[in-house]
Structure 1
Amino acid sequence: MKKSLVALAALAAAGIASAQSSVTLYGVADVWLGSTKTETLQGGVLTGVRQTVQGSGGYNGSRFGLRGTEDLGGGLKANFVLEQGFNIDTGAQASAGLQFNRQAFLGLAGGFGEVRFGRQYTAYDTLRAATNNSFDSSFATTGTVWGKGVADYGNRRDNQITYISPDFSGFSGAITYALGENKTATSSATDTTAFHVKYAAGPLLVGAAYQQEEVSNTVDRTYTLLAGSYDFGVAKLTAGYNRAKLDMGGKDNEYQLGVDFPVASNARIAVGYVHAKYKLANGASNGKGNGYTITGYYDLSKRTRLYAGLNNYSVKNAAGVKTEKGNLYAVGVRHSF
């Protein structure tokens, strides 16, 4: 009897030891040098100052993180990510007061898909990033021209629950729900709900996404995105249409188009264009905006990339008067580890 108990204990210990786990330190260090200028309308005149800048995250945001997984057996895994953004030019946190401002989540994954809990990207943002022009780099003017009428969306949310489906012959989806956790006796919590569905197979990716943000007890913002990409080999095309709407009035129709193509086995160039029409609650024009981007990169290795780019944008009011314009010229280096 004692021998049987010892044998069972040994087998149990072996089963626990066989569970495979790993933790990986990873990150991006990205620094750039360039010139930037933003002008706004003041007293009827566009006013601004050109700055020579050393900046962080010209191509992708600088960050470091820990990524871990444990095989629990039976196809089930536990996963976590802790990711902090920082400014490499100053050493400061990307978001003051947040230890892991980019991501901080724990989840379980298996044949059912994946469930995550914590601070994460919304399901809407996942599709928008995958289909943005200019390699979804910081040179893209999507986040500058879009959002001048109805405020742009929040790409990350605290206290979020995420479900990511398995891939069904190219079809997949995700849904996210972020608890506002600020409900009072007179107001509801400012929750955020988002989802996307997509088809990705071979050179084609196409999808739709939606996000609803409860701004206050009586005000919601919604974002509806239709976007995709197609890789022809000689060039890759990206395109998207987004509608941003404030339920108390105001609606923006926003468009983006991009193409990138190889110039060598380790180098690509991208061109992007962004347009937006801002409308008031009564449907009248509230102005429009345009922006374009040219950027390219050259990979010195699998981890180190040289890049350069420029962007230019302008915003006009309903009378056709420019109320804001800006541009950026930069060269930089990004190292991944």
Structure 2
Amino acid sequence: MKKSLLVLAVLATISTAASAQSSVTIYGVVDEGIVYENAGAGGAFRVDSGLQSGSRIGFKGTEDLGGGLKANFVLESGFAADTGAQSTAGVLFNRQSYVSLSGGFGEVKLGRIQTMVYSNAAVFDPFGDTLAGDSARLFNYGGSRTDNTINYSYNATNGLNGQLAYSTGEVAGNNSANRTVAGAFGYSGGPVQVVLTHQNTKNATGSDAAKTTLLGGNYNFGMISAFAGYAINKGVGTLNTRDALLGLQARITPADLIMASIIHKYDKAVDHADATQIALGYTHDLSKRTNLYTSVSRLQNGSAVAYKATGNGKSDKLFNVGIRHKF
């Protein structure tokens, strides 16, 4: 009897040690709000999902392999909370889907991964690529995620950080077609964050490429943080634009944050194709996991362009209010 109890105790100890070396977490966001938008053809109200953060459910895990080496994975599925539908029809894990190895050398990921500009949006955009002030409404992000990607990232103890990514186009006989090569180098320490990113995406034949280079950052003065970003976009066809952003965040209480920004897109290839957006936003934390938000923006187009609007020269006026819950 004593031997049996001893065996059970040993097995329990081994099981506990093994489980402590690996973990799987289920997490997610449910974000929903009311939107009023007038893009030049009359205003309309709607209920929308993912105004501050894309509604999602995710699974992430890690296993300690010993010697500082870990195996990791992320599987993340976006959905529309207002309808229950998948964000991308027919694609279950449309947000992120990768497996990785990490250690003292950094982390190597394989799969569907965030693009360089998108993954660094919170460094230069006070809205963090969300709400009515979202910089992606005018900035060239090159998409938010890329498939078939090899990504290497490293975060040094002195605040320096960097990423390199290669996304295969998977076109037989043409390794340049649809290929994306990207990199980022940044610093995060004390009150300063800064990042320089570059992304080069070939077209379907590999004969031309869309290229974006962005420098951005923020500085925390205490209650106020100042943000700035500047991007050069060149490539496919006559693309030759510049994007500039100035913004701020004001932390008026531990639970209350005000955001504001102005963005200007200048088109060097086409006359009267510039656009300007001004935006103001506010969030209030009800708890560590739940907050309320509201934001408003106005995007004015030049006479030869129609960003987010129904026709050239028209403006897009956007207002939203909603709630976000993380779990």
TM-score by length of 1: 0.86
RMSD value, Cα: 2.3
Aligned residue number for residue 300 of structure 2: 314
Tell me the residue number matched to 1:210: 198
1:53 aligns with 2:46: yes
- Alpha-carbon deviation of 1:69? 0.5
Aligned counterpart for 2:62 among listed residues 69, 93, 116: 69
| Partner-residue secondary structure (3-state), 2:85 | coil
Cα pair distance change 1:248/1:335, threshold 3 Å:
same
Q: How does 1:251-270 map to 2 (within 5 A)?
A: 251-270=240-259
Distance of 1:58 and 1:127 partners within structure 2: 18
Alignment partner for residue 226 of structure 1, among 198, 215, 224? Answer: 215
For residues 5-16 of structure 1, the aligned pairs below 5 Å read none
Q: Which amino acid aligns with 1:264?
A: T
User: Which consecutive aligned stretches of 4+ in structure 1 deviate over 6 angstroms post-superposition?
Assistant: none
How far apart, in 2, do the equivalents of 1:250 and 1:213 lie?
Answer: 13
8 A contact 1:180–1:191 mirrored in 2: yes
SS of the equivalent of 1:71 reads: strand
CA distance in 1, matches of 2:303, 2:62: 51
Structure 1 Cα separation of the partners of residues 84 and 92 of structure 2 = 14
* 1:244 corresponds to: 233
Asked whether the 8 Å contact 2:76–2:93 carries over to 1, the reply is yes
Residue 44 (structure 1) aligns with: none
Specify the code of the residue in structure 2 equivalent to 1:234: M
CA distance in 2, matches of 1:29, 1:81: 18
How many Å separate the matches in 1 of 2:106 and 2:246?
A: 32
Partner of 1:294: 280
State the SS of the aligned residue for 1:323: coil
Contact kept? 2:133, 2:260, Cα under 8 Å: no
Once residues 303 and 179 of structure 2 are traced to their aligned partners in structure 1, the CA distance between those partners, rounded to angstroms, is 32
CA distance in 2 between counterparts of 1:250 and 1:58 reads: 29
Q: Is the 8 A contact 1:277 1:285 kept in 2?
A: no
Of 95, 107, 128, which residue of structure 2 is paired with 1:114? 107
Distance 1:303 1:168 in 2: 29
Matched residue, 1:172: 161
Distance 1:77 1:309, change over 3 A: same
Write out per-residue CA displacement over residues 208-259 of structure 1, whole angstroms, 9 at most, x where no aligned residue.
0000000132120000000001111120111100111115433101101110
Alignment partner of 2:120: what SS?
Answer: helix
Deviations 1:50-98 (A, max 9, x none): 1111110111111110010111111000110000111100011111111
Q: In terms of mean alpha carbon deviation, does 14-23 or 170-179 score higher?
A: 14-23
SS across alignment from 1:134? coil
Tell me if structure 1 keeps the 8 A contact 2:131–2:295.
no
Inter-CA distance 184–129: structure 2 relative to 1 (3 Å threshold): farther
Give 1:230's aligned amino acid: Y
Out of 327, 331, 334, the position equivalent to 2:317 is 327
Task: Measure, in 1, the Cα distance between the counterparts of 2:19 and 2:293.
Answer: 44
Secondary structure, aligned partner of 1:94? coil
Residues 303-334 of structure 1: per-residue CA shift (max 9 Å, x gap): 00011111110110369x95231111111000
1:92 aligns with 2:85: yes
> How far apart, in 2, do the equivalents of 1:146 and 1:136 lie?
10
CA distance 1:35–1:58, shift in 2 (3 Å) = same
Q: 1:130: how far off?
A: 2.9
Unmatched tracts of structure 2, length 5 or more: 1-9, 306-310
The one-letter code of the counterpart of 1:325 is: S
Q: 3-state SS of the aligned residue for 2:158?
A: coil
2:127 and 2:133 in contact (8 A); partners too: yes
Q: Which amino acid aligns with 1:200?
A: S
CA distance in 2, matches of 1:49, 1:276: 24
1:92-135 CA distance string (max 9 Å, x none): 11111111000000000000000000001023332234321224
Aligned to 2:274, what secondary structure does the other structure show?
A: strand
Gaps of 5+ in 1: 1-9, 40-47
Given the two structures, how large is their TM-score scaled by the length of structure 2?
0.89
1:194 correspondence with 2:187 = no
Of residues 145, 155, 169, the one that matches 2:138 is 145
Change (3 A) 1:53 1:318: closer
